[in-house]
Amino acid sequence: MSSVDANTVAVLVERHGDHIASPTFEALTLADTLGTPVAVWLGGTPSPEAVQQLGDYGAVQVRVIDADVRIPSVGAAALAAAGHDAEVFVVVSTFVNKEIATRLAMLTGAGVVVDAAGAEVVDGHVETTQTVFAATWNVRTRVNRDVAIVGVRPNTTQAVVIEDAALPAVVEVPFEAPVTRETLVHAEPVKASDGVPLAEAPVVVSGGRGTGGDYALIREFAELLGGAVGASRDATDEGWISHEHMVGQTGTTVTPALYVAAGISGAVHHRGGMQASGTIVAVNLDPDAPIFEISDFGVVGSLFDVLPDAIARIRQVRGA
């Protein structure tokens, strides 16, 4: 294996087939502030374009393990092998990666923090920031072990392209998968929700009971902004939209740069899943709706009046 400088930071590549998910680039940018990023590609072989993309965001090496890593114990073992010299591991905080991170910590004795919004090295230790308890507390955590594992939330770091980045070396890492207690017999992705995955989307437009079940404007606005469609639990319970769109304590936690809540009252269970978003915009008929307490911009009015106006204005400004 070709060597890299000290302070290797192993970044697990999050991808859909050969398409690298944008939170991977954010994780690489964060890794670059902690040490020397190496990208870890588990399963299959990256295309030359994918390797170049990883280099563009700071990876000096792409380490490849061709193993079926859909079982977290195998993923953790593969990540441990690929990052055998790493002082820090960075993964995107998805459900499966959080399990991989904790199993990796068991294997390596590392300290682990998931759902981080940032990380830095302070006095030789990795320190992370997070929001916890339904985003009601900001917390700073220090990892006391020599090796740190950081699960980082999407949209919390601005990905930065490195000018004239060199093409990273691709290194095949030998790996023998551990014998597992379970065997994956069959797996296929649930039909993807429309557009960008909710947890990764830089913009989320959510509709609640106030939509009355009509999501046409919510979808149109989300599409216009390049975002994903979210929903409150009441809306998904009504069967107006599928459960994979649910934002909140029971649903997906999102931290987009922009979160639009239309016809959502802002119950604590909903807020817990979106309160850490960058900018929050609410549209609600009720001026006393709790959602306005955490909103940066609030519009009192019907979403059926406000959203068409906003859509028309944005199209006008864009000249489309």
Quick one: the chain helix, strand, coil %, rounded to 5?
30, 30, 45
Our CB check for ligand FAD shows the closer of 69 and 307 to be 307
Judged by CB under 6 A, which of 108, 131, 156, 232 binds ligand FAD? 232
- Do the beta carbons of residue 127 and residue 141 sit within 8 Å? yes
Only one of the segments 56-64, 136-144, 150-158, 228-236 lies at the binding site for ligand FAD (rule: CB under 6 A); that segment is: 228-236
Residue 264: left if φ>0, alpha if ψ -120 to 50, beta else—which one? beta
Shortest distance, position 218 Cβ to ligand FAD, whole Å: 11
Only one of the segments 54-62, 86-94, 168-176, 226-234 lies at the binding site for ligand FAD (rule: CB under 6 A); that segment is: 226-234
- The count of residues in the chain is 320
8-state DSSP, 201? -
286 lies in the site for ligand FAD, by CB under 6 A: yes
In order of 25, 93, 158, 215, 233, the CA distances from 152 in angstroms are: 12, 5, 12, 31, 25
| Encoded tokens for 314 | 């944005």
Our CB check for ligand FAD shows the closer of 158 and 250 to be 250
Positions in 256-285 near ligand FAD (CB under 6 A): 263-265, 267, 269-270, 273, 283-285
Site pattern 1..40 for ligand FAD (x: CB under 6 A): ----------------------------------------
H helices of the chain, in order, are 22-32, 48-56, 72-82, 95-108, 216-224, 233-237, 268-271, 303-318
Cα separation, 295 vs 310, whole angstroms: 17
- Do the beta carbons of residue 238 and residue 213 sit within 8 Å? yes
141 lies in the site for ligand FAD, by CB under 6 A: no
Shortest distance, position 209 Cβ to ligand FAD, whole Å: 3
Amino acid in position 79: L
Shortest distance, position 88 Cβ to ligand FAD, whole Å: 32
241 lies in the site for ligand FAD, by CB under 6 A: no
For the chain, the straight-line distance linking the first and the last C-alpha, in angstroms and rounded, comes to 52
Site pattern 161..200 for ligand FAD (x: CB under 6 A): ----------------------------------------
In order of 7, 32, 281, the CA distances from 294 in angstroms are: 39, 33, 9
Only one of the segments 38-46, 61-69, 161-169, 249-257 lies at the binding site for ligand FAD (rule: CB under 6 A); that segment is: 249-257
Positions in 287-306 near ligand FAD (CB under 6 A): 289, 302-304
Query: What are the CB-based long-range contacts (under 8 Å, 24+) for 282-287?
Result: 283/307, 284/210, 285/210
Which of 273, 306, 310, 270 is CA-nearest to residue 290? Answer: 270
Shortest distance, position 194 Cβ to ligand FAD, whole Å: 19
Shortest distance, position 267 Cβ to ligand FAD, whole Å: 4
Judged by CB under 6 A, which of 55, 233, 281, 310 binds ligand FAD? 233
Our CB check for ligand FAD shows the closer of 129 and 302 to be 302
- Residue 111: strand, helix, or coil: strand
- The residue ranges that bind ligand FAD (CB under 6 A) are 208-210, 232-235, 246-251, 263-265, 267, 269-270, 273, 283-286, 289, 302-304
